[in-house]
Amino acid sequence: MKGISSILLTSVYLCLQGASLFGMQSIPKFDERTGTGSWGGTRERGMRMHEELGVQLSREGMIWMHYEPQKGTCPWQDDFDDAVSRLGKAEIEIEEMITDTPFWASSHPRKDPNNPSSFKNAPPMGLNEPIYLDGSDKFSSEKKINPANPWAVFLEKMAKRYRGKVKYFQVWNEPDFPSGEERLDFSKPERTWQGSVGQYVRLLKIAHTVIKSVDPEALIVTGGLGYPRYLEAILERGGGQFFDCLDFHAYGFPGSDKGIGEFLKVHGQMKRTLHKFGQDSKRLLCSETGYSSLEPEEQADFIQKIYTVSAALGLDGTCYYSNTNPCWKEMGLIDWQTMSRPNGGYRAYQKAARILKDARFVKKIPLRPEIVAFLFEKKGKALLIAWAPYREEQQAVSLSLKGKWRCVDGNEERKVVKLWKRPTILEGGKKLEGVI
């Protein structure tokens, strides 16, 4: 099995798309009357947290079954408008995850209005109906959306409302969860997309056609994928023409380096699959990754490493899951019930966002097999981030430096640094070449 260092040597390429965005899950809500986190609360504290952390990309859920619970009625429209408005004022980009079919539009043959899992993961009715009233899927400005295709109708309404305000439109969440199944199957409620791969490609095609017709600058993003075979199935069916950005999800435990290794493994698999189908130009984004706060030091290390690696890989952005606890595996950074008690991961995210903001990835430096080192340029100065995967502090390896370097956590100059699994961040002079 390849180590992290060797995987990075083959995975990292020069970033041509600008800085990778520091992403986060949706703005948490807090009820000031009760003093607790609540979906019925407001976003003031959550937005302050986003801005304090240095978030640059917020993944907001456009849950169709909540947004339009009855056909043509959108009781939560103002709520989503509020999120979009706040993020826009803060100059935070938005990834809008569109998912979950409402009861009235679900094709599930045994749907129960009192059981969302019986209808929300099924393909929408009318999915194979033409997008436009003239019986075609081809856009022209005078055409009207076909009302027999509720997915297309909803997307047009949503795209017009948020034109120019939302950059990334994500089509569903984890359509290959939990095991990468490709066939239509209503018998497994745990599947987040119960339709076939072909139906998912149709979902993408309609989203691409309708949203791009309203906002040509919008980027269509796949649901977060974890199985390269599912991506291959999408591409085999011609789905590559219907998305701009491939989204993947990757988690790994225990240990921050295992988490990074899993992230790189999934990224590499997705890149190779895209290459196989001549889709190398696709942008990549990771909208879910994270590490448990039950291992606080590993969580903090993981956060610094994951955003360093994301910048080196040239991803559009990486969204941390999640901002608050309680959540899956307690990965949050702050307590939702009080919106207080930020943990070490919170501070690590802040630090990484501050250090890597406006930094340009230059190259990965092949020092020794046991060391991972990345060179960045920031405001005309060299920035070096390095660590020795899997090594505890007592197993640290020494690295001699040329020139003047100082640790960003202090002003002392360093000629020799001891590297272990915790990242070391050094700032050097203006010369980028020959620094080590």
Reply yes or no on whether the pLDDT at 2 is more than 50. Answer: no
Q: Are 191 and 178 in contact (CB under 8 A)?
A: yes
pLDDT tens, residue by residue, 9-53:
444 433 334 579 999 999 999 988 888 888 889 999 999 999 999
List, in order, residues 6 or more apart from 288 with CB less than 8 Å away.
224, 249, 250, 251, 319, 321
Distance, in Å, from the CA atom of 185 to the CA atom of 387, rounded to the nearest integer, reads 46
The CA dihedral of 389, 390, 393, 395, to the nearest 10 degrees, is -100
Every domain of the chain with CATH number 3.20.20.80 lies at 13-359
pLDDT tens, residue by residue, 144-164:
999 999 999 999 999 999 999
b/e sequence 41-54, b meaning 16+ C-beta within 10 Å = bebebbbebbeebb
Distance, in Å, from the CA atom of 345 to the CA atom of 368, rounded to the nearest integer, reads 29
Of 66-70, 74-78, 275-279, 407-411, the one with minimum mean pLDDT is 407-411
Reply yes or no on whether the pLDDT at 249 is more than 70. Answer: yes
**Dihedral sign (CA 70, 75, 76, 78):** positive
Q: Which two tokens stand for residue 381?
A: 């100065």
Question: Does residue 322 have a cis peptide bond before it, meaning omega lies within 30 degrees of 0?
Answer: yes
- DSSP assignment of 61-97 equals EEEHHHH-SBTTB-TTHHHHHHHHHHHHHTT-EEEEE
The dihedral region occupied by 271, where left means phi > 0, alpha psi between -120 and 50, and beta the remainder, is alpha
List beta partners, residue 393: none
pLDDT band for 435, please (50, 70, 90 cuts).
Answer: low
Mean pLDDT for the chain overall: 92
Give the chain's length.
436
Reply yes or no on whether the pLDDT at 7 is more than 80. Answer: no
pLDDT tens, residue by residue, 78-95:
999 999 999 999 999 999
Say how many Å lie between the first and final Cα of the chain, rounded.
Answer: 29
Any idea which architecture 13-359 has in CATH? Alpha-Beta Barrel (3.20)
Reply yes or no on whether the pLDDT at 430 is more than 80. Answer: no
Q: Are 128 and 180 in contact (CB under 8 A)?
A: no
Residue 43: predicted pLDDT: 95
Amino acid type, 284:
L
Q: Are 254 and 286 in contact (CB under 8 A)?
A: no
Model pTM score: 0.94
Among 333, 245, 255, which residue's Cα sits nearest to residue 284? 245
pLDDT band for 434, please (50, 70, 90 cuts).
Answer: low
Span 120-143, average pLDDT? 96
Q: Which two tokens stand for residue 84?
A: 């979009």
Question: Does residue 178 have a cis peptide bond before it, meaning omega lies within 30 degrees of 0?
Answer: yes
Helix residue spans in 54-196 (DSSP H) = 64-67, 77-89, 150-161
